[in-house]
Amino acid sequence: MSEYERTFVMVKPDGVQRGLIGEVISRLEDRGLTLVGAKFMQIDEDLAHDHYAEHEDKPFFDGLVSFITAGPVMAMVWEGQDAARQVRRMMGATDPAEAQPGTIRGDLGLDLGRNVIHGSDHEDPGANEREIDLFFDDDELVGWEQIDEGWLYE
């Protein structure tokens, strides 16, 4: 049986500017995931540095920070069985040119640096909690049960 978990997802500034927030939310809801937190926000440089800390020594770090702080984002927390793995598969490859059709990046992404969406790394067990904690306080997350949940999971 799959693990029930929460995962962090963000529609990046390019996705916001292109009006894709609703499309991303619809796809995640259609998959059966439950939205438990959402925040439309502007990321400041301190939060951007914390969010991308693992890339700090890489040559593209300054570009990441510049991009993610360039416009508003939609930060969200989704819940479901294997939520992080499900979201990562739905997102597709980081480079939209290599992402499969039917994935969010394959259908909506245009460029490696403008790939619409971020999701926590499902292979890093601490990534979900770390990113959720960066963007949300506990009282900003609402646990609830969808009425059709019994039809989604065994």
Catalytic residue positions, numbered:
118
Query: How distant, in Å, are the alpha carbons of 1, 6, 109, 143, 154 from that of 77?
Result: 22, 6, 21, 11, 23
Residues linked to residue 35 through DSSP beta bridges, in sequence order: 78
Cβ-contact 15, 117 below 8 angstroms: yes
Instruction: Tell me how long the chain is.
Output: 154
61 CB burial (10 A radius; 0-12, 13-18, 19+): middle
Provide the 3-class DSSP secondary structure of residue 9. Answer: strand
Reading the block at residue 16, the tokens are: 């916001």
Cβ-contact 108, 61 below 8 angstroms: no
